[in-house]
Amino acid sequence: MIGRRKFLTFLTLFGFAKTRESNTPCAVWPEAKSPCLVPAVSPIPEPDPSEVLQEARKLAASGHFEDALKKHIWYHENSLRIQPAQVGVRLSFALSYWQELGEKYPKARAALLEIQQKNRNSIELGQCDFSVFQEIAGIDRHLGDQSGTVESFRKLREIDATLAAKCYDLAEKALVAQKAYAECLEFLVDPMVNLQRIVNFREKLRNGVATNQAREKAADAIFTERASRLITILAQGGKLADAEKILAAALLTLDNDTIRNAGK
């Protein structure tokens, strides 16, 4: 008959360990006075969000649309919990891939619209925050629904003006597309401060760790778009003197025809 010590050694070798929380005698050795022995279970590792997203693309490319949709939904719901740094990819590349899938597979577009409707409902329920509105603007942008962003922003302003002010930058492009210049002016307390933020963002992009020609070109393109939009808001909103000041200041940073012709 095998001895108690040898039996415990046998259990240990095959993946069993003593618990530190229970004082219950071991079930496998009734007369034992030590804590019960339980299996040592290793946690199941979480999937890598980036890999899941790439799997979704491959599945879509091979015509496995339903499986691709499941991957997109999983990524959208879990990526930030596992890797918070996925926030940028989640609202850009991931939505772009999802939108492309929706063009081939209507069910995928319907699923994205369902998520968007829940986001919009959160405004009515007073449950919206910056991240939710950021998602609203991102999904609308990829679906080509700028009017949806404007409507959501107006509703948010009615319910929570303070939060709306924080979310203004997310809605500005859509507001300008709808020629809602007066609404934009409500949130431009100091146009020169706004321009300086745009300048600082350009410098941050151009002077990043991996600075290269493509990065610098992208930084200039973003600056041109945002500076031109600011000038347009001021000029079309009747703030001509401010528009001229911002134009002159912007040209000191970057001089091109797009900026020069902004607001006309």
> Which residue do the tokens 């079930």 mark?
27
Is-contact 195 227, C-beta < 8 A? Answer: yes
pLDDT tens readout for residues 145-166: 999 999 999 999 999 999 999 9
Q: What is the C-alpha separation between 150 and 186, in angstroms, rounded? A: 14
Task: Taking residues 166-192, report their average pLDDT.
Answer: 96
- Evaluate if residue 55 carries a pLDDT over 50: yes
CA dihedral 70, 71, 72, 75 (to 10 degrees): 120
Average pLDDT in the chain: 88
- Evaluate if residue 136 carries a pLDDT over 60: yes
Is-contact 167 153, C-beta < 8 A? Answer: yes
Radius of gyration for the chain, computed over Cα atoms and rounded to the nearest angstrom: 28
Residues 6+ apart with CB under 8 A from 134: 91, 167, 170
Task: Taking residues 245-261, report their average pLDDT.
Answer: 98
Task: Taking residues 212-230, report their average pLDDT.
Answer: 94
What pLDDT shows up at residue 58?
A: 98
Residue among 9, 7, 33 nearest 22 (CA) = 33
What pLDDT shows up at residue 15?
A: 45
What pLDDT shows up at residue 172?
A: 98
Helices and strands, number each (H, E), in the chain: 14, 2
In the structure, what pLDDT confidence band is assigned to residue 13 with cuts at 50, 70 and 90? Answer: very low
- Evaluate if residue 28 carries a pLDDT over 90: no
pLDDT higher at 150 or 14: 150
Task: Taking residues 64-91, report their average pLDDT.
Answer: 97
Domain extents in the chain? 4-39, 49-179, 191-260
What pLDDT shows up at residue 43?
A: 77
Q: What is the C-alpha separation between 59 and 7, in angstroms, rounded? A: 50
CATH class assigned to 49-179: mainly alpha
- Evaluate if residue 20 carries a pLDDT over 80: no
